[in-house]
Structure formats: C-alpha cells, structure tokens
Amino acid sequence: MRRNISLMLAVGLLVAACAGSPTADPTTTSIGGTAATNGGVTGVAGTFDPSQVRFVAALERFDSCDALLDHFKAEAKERVGPYGLDGNRGWWGIPEPFMGLDDMEAAATTTAAAQTAPAGEGGAYLAFGGVEGVDYSGTNVQVAGVDEPDIVKTDGTRIITVVDGKISYVDVTTDEPLVLGTLQLTDGWNHTLFVVGETAFVFANGGGGVAMPTDVMATDAMIWPGFGYNSAIVLEVDISDPANMKVTRTLTVEGQYLSARLIDGTVRMVISSYPNDLPFVYPSNPASEDIALEANRKVIDQTTLDDWLPDYTLVESDGSSSEGILVDCARTHRPVEFAGFETLSVLTFTADGGVDAGDATGVIAGGETVYASPESIYVATNVWIPSDWIGIDDSREFDEAYSTAIHKFSISGSDPAEYEASGSVKGHLLNQFSMDEYDGYFRVATTDGTPWGSDETSESFVVVLEQRGDQLVEAGSVGDMGKGEQIYSVRFIGDAAYVVTFRQTDPLYVVDISNPDHPVVAGELKIPGYSAYLHPLGDGRLLGIGQDATEEGRTLGAKVSLFDVSDPSDPREIDNFVLPDSYTDAEWDHHAFLYWAPEQMMVMPLQAWQDDFAGAIVFKLDDGIREMGRISHEKENAQIVESECDQYSSDNGYEDVIVQVCGPNDASYVDGYYCEVLAVEDAEWIAEDYLNGEVDLAEVAGPDDHIEICWSDYQDWNPIQRSLVIGGDLWTLSYRSLQSNSLDDLSFQHQIGIG
C-alpha cells in the first residue's frame, strides 16, 4: 500500500476562496439498493440505511488483477468523502482484549485432555524433555494439537521467554537453573513466540520500519524504507547457540498482526491490513468540501493494487531482500456484500522451511476473530458500518439486522490455506471461544445486536452450521438465553456448549447439541457475578473464572466457581472462592491460566488491592476449591545476572535515570530499574535529553547494539504473568524474573532475573 500516486492537485482546497457554502447540484448515490441525497457531498453516513443491512455470506474470487483493482476503485468512489476514507472508515470489530477475552486477536475438544494428550497432540511443538501433560505443562490452548503463540514455551529441559522484547533461554536441567543467553529485539511490541527445535518464531506488531536480521544490522550501507504505518512482524530466531542467539530472517507486512497457529510444523499467521496511505486532501472548512470530494475521487482513479493490498519485505540473513504484494490476485476473495477495505490475510509457512512470504490467501473484509482446528481456519468478519452510525440512538433496525459472516479455509497439511465455504449468523461473537468445529459441524455462540451495547430485548444463541458446497448452512439453533444480557464466556465440550451471560447475575446455560439439527437448552443456573473464562476439568466438572457481583451487577472481586455439570438439566455450583477488590488476567487471557491435571492443581495470576498482593494463587481442585498458597516474586530472592552493558548517567536532573548501550546478547538487568529499549538511531536525542550531551552515544554504540533507558522502579511492581510445571517444580514468570517453587508444598526453590 505504498504511496505511489503522483497526483498534483492545483486547487486551493485548504484556502476556500469562496465566502459561504457553494451552490451545487445534489449528488445521488446508491449503496445496497438505497439511494441517498447528501447536498452535493456524498459520504457514507449520508447513504447508509440500517434497514438494508444483510450480510450475504459468500466469497467470490477475482478472475484478474484488473477486476480486483476495479472493485476497489468502484467501492471507494462510492464511499469516499471530502475527508477521504479514513473519516468514514467502517467499524471492524472490537479487539478481543476489550471484549473481555483475547488476543483477540480462539473450546473445542480439549477438555482436560489438552494437558494430558499424548506427545504431539498438546499445545507446544517441543519434544526434548519428556511428554507434555505428564512431565511438563504446555500452553493453555483452545484446541488440542493446535498450538498458540505465547510469551513462554518449554520442552521440559529449557524455558524460552519473550518479555518486553527480550528473549531469554533458561536451562532447567541442572541443580541451579541458568540463563544461558538473552537476545534483545529492537522491533515491535507485544511479542509472542513459537519454538520448534532450535528455532523460535516471534510475532509482533510494529510501525514505521522494517525489522532487520541481526547480521544485516551490522552492515553500514543498507537503508530500509519504513511503511509509515503499523506493520505485522514475524522474526525467525536461531537459538541453537543460546549465548549468541540471533535473528536470521524477518518478514514485515503492512497491517496488524492478529493471531497465529502452529499445527504439525506448519505456521498460519493472520494479518489485517488497511489502505492507510492514500494521499487524500482535506478541506479547511465546509465551503471547500465539494472541491475536496472531487479531488479525492481523482486520487482513487489513479490508484494501483499497491495502494490497496498489503506489501511485504522479506530480509534474509545475508542481507538480500525481496518485496511485493503479499496476496496474489487469484487468491483474493471478496464477500458478496461489501465488508470494508481491509484485507484479512492467512499466511502459511513451514517451521522447517522458515519464514517467507509464502502463498497467502486474502479476504477483503474487516474482522479480528480467528478460530482454528487441526483441519480448518475460520475467520469471522463484521458488517461494514460507517463510524458515524456507531451509537446512534435510533439504530434499532440495525441492531435487529446485524449479523456476522464466517469464512472457512482448509489448512490440511502444509499447503496454503484454501477458501472452502461461508455462512452467516445473527448478531456478534465474543471471542475465539465462541466458535468450535466438532464431528463435521461448526458451532457458534452469538448475542444478537451490535457488540457495543445491549438492551432488554437482546438474547443469545447457539447456532450449528454444516457445509454444503461453498455454503455454511444452518442445521439447527437454539436461543432465548440471557434476555437483556451479553455473552461473557463460552466453552464447547463434545456434544455440549456452556454459555455464560451477564448483566446483573450470571446465568450459566447448558446447551445439549447431541442432535445438531435440534440443539436445546438443557439446564440453567443463576448465581451472582459472572465467569469470563470456562475450563473443562473432566468427570462432569467445569471451572469458571471471573468476578463476583452484587445483585445490581457491580463487580466485587475475583471469583473462582466449581460447577458440577454431570446432569445437564441441573447444573450446580458446588464451591467458589472470592477475593474482594481483586482481579486476574485469566479473565481475558486464557494463556495466563494453568490447570495441571496430574495434581488437580490450578494456578492463576492475581492482583488484590485490599491485600496489597501481586502474584499467583494456587488451588487444589479435588472435592472443592482449596487454596494451597500464594506465590510472589520477592526481589531479595533473585539470582541476578548483572548488566553487561556500558552504563552512563548525568547530574542534569535525571539522577534516577541510567542509559545503557548493550549488544544484542548482553545481560541488561538493572536491579531496581525498569528499562525501555530504543534503537541506535535514537542516540542523538537520548544523549541530549538524558546525558546533557556529555556522551556521544552514536559514537559509542555499534550498528548491532541497542540503547536502553532505565528509570527507577519506585513501586517495585512485578506481577506474575504465566505459570508452568516441569517435573516437581512449579515455575512462574513475571516481568522481571522466573521463579520455581516446589509442586508439593510451594516452598521457594530458585529465582532468576531476566528483566
């Protein structure tokens, strides 16, 4: 989507020579069969008719690149306004973390077997230190055999973490665990990873540049252009020599990284890209809107496919590079009903072959919810809604018509994703757990209306779809759940679905789907509060994690509920635990949750204001919920590897700031400080602002170095993010350290500084 349009507009758009609004003939435009007159300026809000919203669920291929470009131009000219497309950009869906996941940016048949599955069927694609689920725990994933990226991975002999952009390699085979090496990544944020053998694949979102392999960063003559907007990044990292880990290959794609899955050595990465950089003009006042509108239509006339589809840059370890459009025209699809200008891309590459641009498949639609089974990926896309319509009071017709399209892609083997079929369901989805593939059917849980609000008429449904040709057709459905409420969590387990809705109380619904043509609500339980995450424990038991609440719906603190669902007609809460004024990340991030089935042990991070506690809480789930203890990362227990970086400070008022120049593999932990990583390109202003110009950082730092600014961590805040089991040890990961405690009595064993 590079800005390659050379359009010179010799018009005084920003001057508005006329006093007052010009007189012009009204312009009439038709969208979805609805004509609208907008006083000479055609914009989306002026032509949008909510009563006409019907998402026709089908995808069509383009027979040529010319046809694809013509599609973009026609739809854009239909919807462009005097402020371009961004001013009228439609709604693409609320990111999963905001919805109360995450992360948006995927229960299927996992049950507790997801952690006791045979080797090769669990979450992690690692096989060095025993059997996952028996000797060590893997990532808490939705579907057995479908790994999800996370900030920590283990194979029972080593722990690989990526925290604040730093990869740490920890050997846990010795009596004293050792950090064998670290690698600081200087590109992107919110890093997560897969580990396959001696390679880590790191995913991130970035902006303004191309991520570079470590070896290439050492070459002086290479200058790489930035995209200027958000970019999705995947880095291939060689971890075979932990003391000298390095990025060997990078792929940077225009857009936002949404999600990824790893299945039998094949990676599927989902990216959402929007054409942000079209050179639209903007009026300085309403009098020049007509002129701006006409100019923006001319901008669209001169666009090429480069302006609409996502570009990529692939940089090899030797410095060679390739670039181009990520999705081939023949592999690009569009919904019959217009669904936005975004391109959702499913990129495929193999772990053995490494990161490359691959053969991506694209859908021209907005959406952020991804579900994957071992054989299929489903992407849920939303109705295109002008931003001016969000929150409009008189949009009842739109609420009633709102629907979600679901597109199915085959991902069998290592071949590129192939489009198979589409369908639509009424209402909107919560997150990836709202979808499930089972026994040849696809099940979806929805709440009708829009995702940004509900009223006393809203209700929730479970819909069963089956594939007939290229259509996902409704086989059966059941509704009438949670009147006036929204879905807060869903879990599909075999022939049953468990749905929690909430407004003031927490109805837990048990839906029997043993007959896909006629699903029924078999039972219901109403209790205060809600469960935001549901986890199967086996033997007819279900665990809920969320918040306790008053009868009026005001939340009170973290709540863990143990349900007996062995009788679907009579679900019961057999025990619960509530800690006032607290919350757990497991409410919206299922990767933060650990259930260790061999010991019937559950671990979750917890932050409690009343108790002034930030750590993890451990429960035994046998006949009820029994607290075993709490774990926190006390700083005095840390085995700290002191910083190996060159450190500088100044007496210019920043006495609590340390500036470090670090090599990519230098240990950089500074006790009592929080450090932010910056590129060498920032050396000049860092030296001026923080070192009073006393040090020439650009001279000190090498091309493969990075700079860290470290501030005093007055609060000493170090909450736990993840937990895992290796042998007889319970390991927990925080922002600053890894710690092991005995699995038997939670006694302290080791703590290693990795911050």
Q: How many CB atoms lie within 10 A of CB 4?
A: 12
The residue to which tokens 């986890």 are assigned = 535
pLDDT attached to residue 429? 93
Query: Over the chain (755 residues), what is each successive 10-residue block's mean pLDDT?
Result: 43 35 33 31 38 58 93 92 64 33 32 34 48 93 96 97 94 92 88 97 79 50 42 96 95 93 95 86 86 93 94 90 94 85 92 90 84 93 60 59 86 88 90 96 92 76 94 94 91 97 82 97 93 95 94 88 97 96 95 97 93 92 94 74 85 75 86 80 86 87 88 74 96 93 95 82
Q: Which three-class secondary structure string do you get for 227-274? A: CCCEEEEEEEEECCCHHHCEEEEEEEEECEEEEEEEECCEEEEEEEEC
E strand or H helix that includes residue 734 = strand 729-734
Contact yes or no for 61/52 (Cβ under 8 A): no
Contact yes or no for 729/739 (Cβ under 8 A): no
Q: Select from 734, 729, 726, 732 the least CA-distant residue to 749.
A: 729
**Which DSSP state fits 197?**
T
Provide the CA 335 distance to its chain's centre, in angstroms: 23
Contact yes or no for 373/412 (Cβ under 8 A): no
Q: Which token pair is 46?
A: 């002026």
Enumerate the domain spans of the chain: 1-429, 636-712
* CA atoms of 104 and 588, how far apart (whole Å): 9
Q: What are the DSSP calls for 459-484, one per residue?
A: -EEEEEEEEETTEEEEEEEEEEESTT
Provide the CA 596 distance to its chain's centre, in angstroms: 25
**Which DSSP state fits 636?**
G
* CA atoms of 367 and 30, how far apart (whole Å): 25
pLDDT attached to residue 521? 97
**Which DSSP state fits 515?**
S
The residue to which tokens 């989507």 are assigned = 1
The residue to which tokens 């959702």 are assigned = 344
* CA atoms of 647 and 644, how far apart (whole Å): 9
Q: How many CB atoms lie within 10 A of CB 642?
A: 11
Contact yes or no for 430/100 (Cβ under 8 A): yes
* CA atoms of 73 and 67, how far apart (whole Å): 10
Burial class (CB in 10 A: 0-12, 13-18, 19+), 491: buried
The residue to which tokens 């979805």 are assigned = 32
Cα four-point dihedral sign 454, 459, 460, 462: negative
Provide the CA 233 distance to its chain's centre, in angstroms: 13
Q: Select from 499, 746, 748 the least CA-distant residue to 626.
A: 746
What are the φ/ψ torsions at residue 580 (nearest 5 degrees)?
A: -60, 150
* CA atoms of 44 and 82, how far apart (whole Å): 11
* C-alpha dihedral (298, 301, 304, 308), degrees to nearest 10: 80
Contact yes or no for 187/166 (Cβ under 8 A): no
Q: Strands 166-171 and 625-631, how do they pair?
A: unpaired
pLDDT attached to residue 561? 97
Q: Which token pair is 485?
A: 């409420």
pLDDT attached to residue 384? 62
Q: Which token pair is 750?
A: 């080791």
Contact yes or no for 346/409 (Cβ under 8 A): yes
For the question of whether the overall pTM of this predicted structure is more than 0.85, the answer is no
User: What crossing angle do the helices spanning 289-301 and 65-79 adopt, rounded to 10°?
Assistant: 170
Scanning 89-219, the segments in alpha helix (DSSP H) are 96-99, 214-217
Q: Strands 582-583 and 601-608, how do they pair?
A: antiparallel
Residue type, 338: F
